[in-house]
Structure 1
Amino acid sequence: MSYFEYQSKRVFYKEAGNGKPLIMLHGDTASSTMFEMLLPLYQEHFRVILIDFLGNGKSDRVSKLPADLWCSQAQQVIALIEHLQLKKVNLLGTSGGAWVAVNTALERPDLIEKVIADSFDGRTLHKNFAENLLKEREYAKHDTYAKQFYEWCQGEDWETVVDLNTQALLECAKKKLPLFSKPLENLTVPILFIGSLQDDMCRKDMLEEYMEMKKLVKHGNIHTFDTGGHPAIATNAEKFADIVFAFLND
């Protein structure tokens, strides 16, 4: 297993395949494990790089996650790119990882070629985000499928990992922290906003939000699926991979 050091802790990463570097960024309460079954769709075309953010998966644990979680995780991605001495990479972030991908490109556009932001709410959290998050996480803890997913991604201490993530996101919502480290208008690299219109874990007006964000960036693209749940990269796996390939090789 491969690790790099970040703020005196070990961060896990994994590589597979050859070609243009494509870093895939997992969402909240998940880990790079969520991409394992999807690797065959990507590794023939790209040098796929997976990362477990601090406190998740095979990376070192932490006692607390920061409220500006997605900005903090972007710094971990930058550290990974520098550790691997890569000059230009593509980023594919899903769910919470989508914010991380955008923030990485906002912070270090010199390192990024293109960004794919999958299945996320965009510029703001829903007004009922905190209430809905608490209900969702409490339900998930008692749902067999959700618990299996958490344990699959995190291991035996999954409940602690989930609780720390919940606390961070609730603090983010309470303080109304900006979700992007800089104004979205500053984004200079091409970006693809993608998701499923039936995704009940994202805002109902996803398409409208994506269209508004597209107006703000210099090189924006949008693709939405009529069907599929959360996230689109998994529920529309093969079509999603085809779209990624076309976008990154355009």
Structure 2
Amino acid sequence: MSYFTFENKQVYYQELGHGEPLLLLHGNTASSAMFEEAAIKFMENHTVILIDFLGHGKSERILEFPADLWFYEAQQVIAFLEEKNYNNVSLIGSSGGALVAINVALERPKLIHKVIADSFEGENPLQAFTETIGEQRELSKKANEIRGFYISMHGDDWEKVVDCDTQAIEKHSREIGKFFHKSLEDFVPPILLTGSKEDEFVLELNVNYFEKTYSNLIKKIGHGEMFLFEKGGQPAMLSNLDTFVRISENFLHK
């Protein structure tokens, strides 16, 4: 297994296949293990890079996650790319990983080729989500399927990982309330925003949530594309994997 050092902690990564570099960024309570099938498909045309953010998966554990979690994880990505002398890297981030991808591109645009941001809530946290996150996470621990997902991502200490993530989300909502340090008007690389119209996290709020939110983001950025799947849950990229890979490859290579 391969690791790089960030703030004296060991961060796990993998490099698979050959070709143009493509870094896949996992979401909250997940790890790079969520991309097992996706990595195989993208390996046909890319060097696929996987990272477990600190505190997740096979990376070293930390006592607590910082409130500015998605920027902290972006700093880990930047440190990795600079240490490994990667440039012209494309990023695919899903859910919380999409927030990380956008932060990376805002902070180090010269390192990034293109960005695909999947199934995320926009510039700011959803209050309806953050207000009930503690209760919802406790319920998720009792659901066999979700608990099985947590275990497959992190192993025996999965509950500590989930609790740290919950606390960081709650603290971020109270103390920070925005995901990006720089204005979206400063975003440089081409970007594709994807999501599912049936995403369970936003469906009850507004059936057109992604269409409205992504349109506003593209307007602020000044460029960008959007693709919304009619079917599938959260995240859209995994519930529509074959179509997502095809759409992604078209975007990355045009």
TM-score between the two structures when normalised by the length of structure 2: 0.96
Give distance in 1, aligned partners of 2:24 and 2:147: 23
Over aligned residue pairs, what C-alpha RMSD do you find?
1.0
2:50 aligned partner, one-letter code: L
Aligned to 1:100: 100
Q: 1:83 Cα deviation (Å)?
A: 1.9
Aligned to 2:140: 140
Give distance in 2, aligned partners of 1:8 and 1:127: 34
5+ residue gaps, structure 1, are none
Of 241, 244, 249, which residue of structure 2 is paired with 1:245?
A: 249
> Does 2:112 match 1:115?
no
> Does 2:229 match 1:231?
no
Q: Deviations over 1:92-114 (max 9, x none)?
A: 00000000000000000010011
Higher mean displacement: 62-71 or 177-186: 177-186
- 3-state SS, counterpart of residue 66 of structure 1: coil
Aligned to 1:220: 224
Q: 1:38 Cα deviation (Å)?
A: 1.9
Percent of matched pairs sharing the same residue: 45
Q: 1:187 Cα deviation (Å)?
A: 0.3
Contact map agreement 1:32 1:51 (CA 8 A) in 2: yes
Aligned to 1:83: 83
Contact map agreement 1:11 1:51 (CA 8 A) in 2: yes
2:183 aligned partner, one-letter code: P
Give distance in 1, aligned partners of 2:157 and 2:166: 15
Q: Deviations over 1:208-238 (max 9, x none)?
A: 0000001011331100001100101110000
Contact map agreement 2:125 2:178 (CA 8 A) in 1: no
Give distance in 2, aligned partners of 1:98 and 1:115: 9
- 3-state SS, counterpart of residue 132 of structure 2: helix
Contact map agreement 1:2 1:13 (CA 8 A) in 2: yes
Aligned to 2:156: 156
Give distance in 1, aligned partners of 2:179 and 2:142: 29
5+ residue gaps, structure 2, are none
- 3-state SS, counterpart of residue 128 of structure 1: helix
- 3-state SS, counterpart of residue 104 of structure 1: helix
Of 213, 229, 243, which residue of structure 2 is paired with 1:209?
A: 213
Alignment of 1:155-174 (within 5 A): 155-174=155-174
Aligned length: 250
TM-score between the two structures when normalised by the length of structure 1: 0.98
